[in-house]
Each structure stands twice: as C-alpha cells, then as structure tokens.
Chain A
Amino acid sequence: MSSPGGLTIAVPRGALFKQTVDILAGLGMDTEELRENDRKLLFEEIGVITMRPSDVPTYVEAGAADVGITGKDVLLEQARHGSDGRGSNPSGREVYELLDLGYGRCTMVLASREGPDPAVEALRRLGVMRVATKYPRIAARHLEETGRQAEIVEVKGSVELAPLTGMVEAIVDLTATGTTLRENNLVVREELMVCTARLIANPVAHKLKAARIDELLGRLRGLATAGTT
C-alpha cells in the first residue's frame, strides 16, 4: 500500500472531496484513479475508502478506517456530548478529533424569510418557533441554549423550501457563500458556528498505530500551515 504508513483513510465524497484528494496528493499518494472513478468506493492500493461525509465517523468509530476526514458540522451533529459535557447523546460517535484542516469553511446559520422575522413573531404569539434542518441535534441544542422553545422539523433535502411553503418559520443550515439563501429570499439571523474539515481517528488505531498516525498528523500540520501563509 502506498498510503501513508499503511493506514486506511476514510475520504468524504461531496463538497470536501476535491480538497481532500489534493491533500492526499500532497502527501505523495497516487490519487489519479480516486479523481477519475467516482463510482468506485474502495481503493485498496492506496488505503482509501470513500463515502458520504456523514458516514465517515461511523466507519472510523468501528475501526473499518483508522483515520478519516469530515466536516465539523457532521461531528457536532453526531457528537457524543455537547462541548460543555452536557447533552449526552447515547448514539453519538466515539472518535478522536486530531486536527483542524482549515478547508471546507462553512457557517452554520439560523435563517428566516426577509422582512420582519417570522420566527420572532411566532415565538411572541405562539410561544414556539418551528425550525427545519438537516441538523436536528445542533439546532435543538442551540435553541435550548438560547432559551427558546422550538419544534424541530427534520428534512433530508433542500431546507430552503420549508420556510417558503410556510411549514416552518426558520431553518438551521450550513452555508458557504449565502447564495442559495439569498436566492430564496432568506436572510441570516444568527451565526451558530464556523465549520471546517477535521481529521479524526479511531481510538484503538490511535494507540496501536500511534507512530503512523503521528507522522500523518505532522505532515498534515505542515501542509495546513503552508496553506495559510
């Protein structure tokens, strides 16, 4: 295997894919087939498996991959605990978060239709706001922490549709440029957090393959530093 030190790496398809592959190429891996074949899932010769970003913690937690790359949004949604140690989520993922890779920068926002904020009015008159999101745990935690009662509506596809149809008053979603929000006449009311790509590791691999993981970590840190200067 020509992967760094024989580690298996879980690589996210989707928005983070291109930059992730660039980084792997920067580590000296042969990524040509990875770039060209978007149907193949398992690239044994370079120790890479590909999957949707939200599955990365699942494979890493189970040890099917030693390390993986995914967005902080995914990690927060699947976290075992809130950052203050509260809000234990028994189905959360037990993975180690090793490095902020810096790319894939997005903001988790709460948005609603432009004009007078319908969420504020719903809260005032009805005592509860309805919020559509693909991130029900992040949304629920944020609204709870800010002392607002909310009904969380989980959707799988285009979240922007939900407030336009009147099904909800607001959405919690990830946005990079805000273009989709603007096109749908939605405005950002609150910024919850900034999310970037993270390197995660399986707890057992972190111990048993310590030298290889630390070497990878060191080289990625070098790349991340070079990228920001």
Chain B
Amino acid sequence: MIYPIPSGTRDVLPQETGEVRAITDTLRAAFDRHHYGEIYTPALEYESVLARADMAEAQPAYRVFDESGAVLALRSDMTVPIARVVATRYPTVEPPLRFCYFAHCYRGVRPQRGQLRELLQAGIELIGSPAPGGTAEALTVLCRSLDAVGLKDYRVGMGDASLFPALMASLGVREPVRHGLLESLVRRDFVELGQRLHEAGLEGEAAELLFDVPQRRGGPEVLADTPEQADGAVMGLRDVHRLLEPDVAARVIFDLGLIRNIGYYTGAVFEVYDPALGAPIGGGGRYDELLGRFGRSLPAVGFALDVDQLHQALAGEERGTGVLADLRSVAQSAGEQVA
C-alpha cells in the first residue's frame, strides 16, 4: 500500500539529510561568525498579523482555523515573523539586531523541478542598519556563507526596487498605467512592456528609457551611463558597491530591471544565481518600511537561501571541493574502514 503525501512536499531520507545537514551546519557556522543569533518562530501565525506585510506573490497560501475560530496561516517566509518578533520582543533594545534562521516556509508554488510548497530556508535579517552599510554587510554575509559551503560559480544580481517606479514617476507616466508596466516588468515580458508603453501613448525618449533601462545588466559599467531620473537608486547601488570587499564585489552583477515579486522591498534587492541551476537559489533586499507596520520603525535588510536549491546547485557544479565532497570523502573512508 502506498500512502500519498501532499503535492509539493516530500520525505527526506538519511543520505539526503546528511548532505543537507552538512550544508546547514556550514551556513550556521558562517552566520555565527558574523554574530547572527539563530531564532525559531511558530510555523503558524495569525493571518491578520502576517497580512500587515505586503507580500504580493509570496503571500501565505495555507490557512487553518483554531478552536476559537481564529484564522491561522502557515508562514510563507521568515522576514515577516522576525519583524513581528523585533517589534514585540525587542521594543526598546538598541539596534542593530542580527538574527538568522533555518526554517520551513510554505508557499502555493508549482510542485515541479524542486520547487516545493514546503521549502527549507536559511537566511539572516539585519535590523536597524540602514543603507548602504547594512546592505553591504548582508551581501558580505551572503557571499561568505556561499563560499563556505563551496559553491563556486555563483553570482549575486543586484538591483533596486525603487528604480523603475522612480523612473516612471519622473517621466510623467500616469498612475493607472504604472501598475501595468510594473507588472510586465515583474514577469520580464519585454514584448508586453513595449506594447503597453505604446498603448499608453508614451513615445520618444521616455518610452525608450522605460524599455531600455530595465534591460541593462552586467558589471559596474551598467551604472556609468544611467539617466538622471534613476540617479537616486543608482547612487545607492554605487554606494553599496564601494563598501564591498573586492572578492564580494566581484560576485555582484548589476541588474537595473531586478524587481522581486514580494511587495515589502524598498531599496536594494538581490538574487543569487548559479550556472548549474536554471532558477535563483535565493534572494533578499532592503525592507525599510516593514518594521514600521509592526510598530517599530527601523531600516532593515536580509536574505534567504532555498536550501534544496542550494543543494541542487552544489550537486550540479559537481566539484571535488566543498562540504559535500568532504562528506563524500568521510563516507568513502568510513566505507574503506568497514571493508
């Protein structure tokens, strides 16, 4: 008899658990070296509490009722619960506050190609440290952690969530049109973006900038020749880049069209890519207004890695180094000893 489990969930058996544990132990040690304290929060929260954040596409997908009829939701990320923790448990503590977590989150995604509805996230939140210093610290922890697990070819794409909205505002795009343009850009449907610019009657330089700027991505040269309407965001990105150590800076690619589909981001946003995997391994960004919604207004930044995606990328790189290789050599020598 085969008893099924819900689509998008899975059992993890000892071989895999051993590999995942090797990754999470290494990440935990890296987070610890940077003084991020690990916390747990409940998997279930009051829906009304999570709803204080603007989650857009990543909003909670699963809800249950408790015995008194209150609506509970399975958390879809750890950023919002940690914002709640900071506001309620650390109302007066002097910032900055540093937290890390290893937690399962729940999303209504398609259960294909390793994308799970129950996903294990590893991440940090740096609360009360504004841009650009806080952003640079988060990027540094991100790269040092990925270096520690032995991921070799990863790059961090960085953009700014405020860039395109600022561009639209300064180029006089009318309010009702803005939502549609942003929506096309979130999906990176550049054909539709072009059509919507045309339909909105935008022409000439304005249309060209709105179509061209979000397609610019690459090294620091991307920031060199940007229109003045994007100056605020571009200067912010430059300031962050200037603060990075050379090895971290070398990992960064700028992407002026990067917009994450989570609504609470306000400034720099980033995503982690590896050539061994067709989808991002994780991402993060600044959310300077989220804490205020929970009653303690503090600038903040964080990132989350999808541990299973990271595991797949490591396996995909198939390198003879890193924590998985260490584990293999341990397993091999153990095998030899038994033999």
Contact = CB atoms under 8 A, between A and B. Distances in A.
Interface of A: 61-64, 80-81, 83-85, 88, 90-92, 94, 96-100, 198, 202-208, 210-211, 214
The list of the 7 closest CB pairs from A to B, nearest first, reads A63-B278, A96-B188, A90-B110, A97-B189, A204-B273, A91-B110, A100-B191
B279 A94 contact: yes
A210 B191 contact: no
B191 A198 contact: yes
Nearest to A89: B110
Interface string B85-125: 00000000000000000000000111011000000000000
Contact of B112 (A88, A91, A204): A91
A90 B108 contact: yes
B280 interface: yes
Interface string B208-219: 000000010110
Contacts of A203: 188, 278-280
B217 A96 contact: no
B275 A208 contact: yes
Contacts of B189: 96-97
B278 A98 contact: no
Contacts of B110: 90-92
Interface string B192-225: 1010000000000000000000010110000000
Contacts of B278: 61-64, 202-205
B187 interface: yes
A98 B184 CA distance: 11
A198 B192 CA distance: 11
Contacts of A198: 191
Interface string B255-292: 10000000000000001011101111000000000000
Given A90-B109, A91-B110, A91-B112, A210 B217 contact: yes
B157 A97 contact: no
B273 A83 contact: no
Given A210-B218, A211-B218, A204 B187 contact: no
B225 to A, nearest CB: 15
Nearest to B271: A207
Q: Is the interface of B mostly helix, strand, loop or mixed?
A: mixed
Could you say which of B108, B190, B255, B280 has the most chain A C-beta atoms within 10 Å of its C-beta? B190
A80 B217 contact: no
Contacts of B190: 96-99
Contacts, number: 70
Contact of B277 (A63, A81, A100, A206): A63
B38 interface: no
Nearest to B193: A97
Nearest to A206: B188
A81 B184 CA distance: 10
Contacts of A84: 183
A65 to B, nearest CB: 10
A15 B112 CA distance: 29
Contacts of B191: 97-100, 198
Contacts of B187: 80-81, 96-97
B184 to A, nearest CB: 8
Contacts of B325: none
B43 interface: no
14 contacts: A62-B113, A64-B278, A90-B110, A91-B110, A94-B279, A96-B189, A96-B190, A97-B189, A100-B191, A198-B191, A203-B188, A203-B280, A204-B273, A207-B157
B155 interface: yes
Contacts of A210: 217-218, 253
Interface in B165-183: 183
Nearest to A91: B110
Nearest to B316: A63
B277 A207 contact: no
A157 B278 CA distance: 32
Contacts of A214: 215
A211 B253 CA distance: 12
Could you say which of B155, B189, B192 has the most chain A C-beta atoms within 10 Å of its C-beta? B189
B307 to A, nearest CB: 18
Nearest to A196: B191
A204 B188 contact: no
B60 to A, nearest CB: 14
A156 to B, nearest CB: 21
Contacts of B113: 61-62
Nearest to A63: B278
Contacts of A98: 190-191
